[in-house]
Amino acid sequence: MIADNLVVDARTGRRTTWGELVQQAGPRPSPTAHVVEHSVDALPAVAALEDGGELLVVAAGRLDEALAEELRGAGFDLAAGDDVQAATSHRATEDGRVWLLTSGSTGRPKRVGHTLASLSTVTGELAPRTWLCPYSPGTYAWWQVITLGLGVPGQDLVLVDPADLDDWVTPALEHGVTAVSGTPTFWRRTLMRHGAELRKLPLEQVTLGGEPVDQAVLTQLGEVFPDARVSWIYASSEVGASIVVHDGRAGFPVEWLGREVPGRPRLAVADGELVITSPHHGVDASGTELAGAVRTGDAARIEDGRVLVTGRLDRDELNVGGSKVSAGAVRDLLQSHPDVAWASVRGRKAPLVGTMVVADVVAGQGSDVNPDDLTRWAAERLPEYAVPRRIKMLAEIPAKETLKSDV
């Protein structure tokens, strides 16, 4: 069912409703990958899904020649506005199928299938809100916000393209935004760039997802938006929205591990990896359902009664001269420094110990903190082998089109 909520394109100021969007596009007879420059361009095809069709949405910036040929070979027509390139192989349309491309953090983006129903994991009534959607079109996080506006009464949307995020606060104020969802990288960049201006936003809901989250950014957001609920969501294309935490603390309670609750995912940690058995599984590119326990590839550790998700397993564990170091733990320690806005930690080959710890750091606004200061800070709190041997100061927080950093 399509709710008649409002949709605002922040780039043009154009206001429309989902009911009006339904009139703008009908279902295409063939599986179609819509290539869009702007979020709003994808919405007529999304609204038309109610009448059937098979849809994949991808931002033009993510589509290279190899991916385009891969999609055409998988039976998708490529539609960029009125320009349509036919599929190079034919298959019947699977009505109601929605395809997502993963972020590609472990290589090329993978295709995962869902339906509007499996993407809509919100249950119960929600207070009326106006959401800012800053995500790249077609990503799992984008669909999570879009399906809120599409199907949940009272949830209006303001769409901002990732390329226009340098100043999203102005249109958010203009259009009455009361809820914002973004990655931790998005929020750290926002806290750096907009500072006190953010306090003008009457936010009731602040959501973070898509990356590891640490206590420092949660605490800062709680201070800037004291009246808002601050939520961290763990979700992925493969297992859907699986963990939702509202208590303002990093990680989730250890008591949730192994808990059996009808309709909710079962969580586990095995060999330092987060494992999820979810009722919101999608299907893989062949159409096979991703059933059972899924090893997420994300590192998790238990600390002070919380399960902390620290980053990709293949990048998190560093072996420094035979001693194990969690890159995520070192990153969180650096980001807990009061003058640090962002940090990224990784291993670098070293002749004697095999790997040494190095870090990139962005200082907070107005701070003159330097690598020597941070080395001393780390040395007072970490074992000697875990202290970064090289710290490079960056001018600004790097982010990809998916609003994530490589952490």
What average pLDDT does range 103-122 have in this prediction? 79
pLDDT in tens, 39-61: 999 999 999 888 888 999 999 98
Give the residue among 75, 62, 28, 76 at the shortest CA–CA distance from 135: 62
The phi and psi torsions of 203 (rounded to 5 degrees) equal: -75, 135
In this prediction, residue 107 has a pLDDT band, given cuts at 50, 70 and 90, of low
Q: What is the DSSP letter of 25?
A: -
The phi and psi torsions of 224 (rounded to 5 degrees) equal: -75, -35
pLDDT of residue 105: 59
pLDDT in tens, 302-343: 999 999 999 888 888 899 999 999 999 999 999 999 999 999
pLDDT of residue 393: 97
Query: Helix 39-48 vs helix 140-151: angle between axes, to the nearest 10 degrees?
Result: 60
Tell the residue number behind the tokens 């394109």, with chain if given.
9
Find the distance separating the first CA and the last CA of the chain, reported in whole Å.
38
In this prediction, residue 102 has a pLDDT band, given cuts at 50, 70 and 90, of confident
Can you give 67-124 as a three-state secondary structure string? Answer: HHHHHHHCCCEEEECCEEECCCCCCCCCCCEEEEECCCCCCCCCEEEEEHHHHCCCCC
In this prediction, residue 106 has a pLDDT band, given cuts at 50, 70 and 90, of low
pLDDT in tens, 243-273: 999 999 999 999 999 999 888 899 999 999 9
Q: Are strands 179-182 and 205-209 parallel, antiparallel or unpaired?
A: parallel
pLDDT in tens, 298-309: 999 999 999 999
**DSSP-assigned states of every residue in 277-337:** E-TT--B-TTS-B--SEEEEEEEEEEETTEEEEEEEHHHHEEEETTEEEEHHHHHHHHHTS
Share of the chain above pLDDT 70, in %: 97
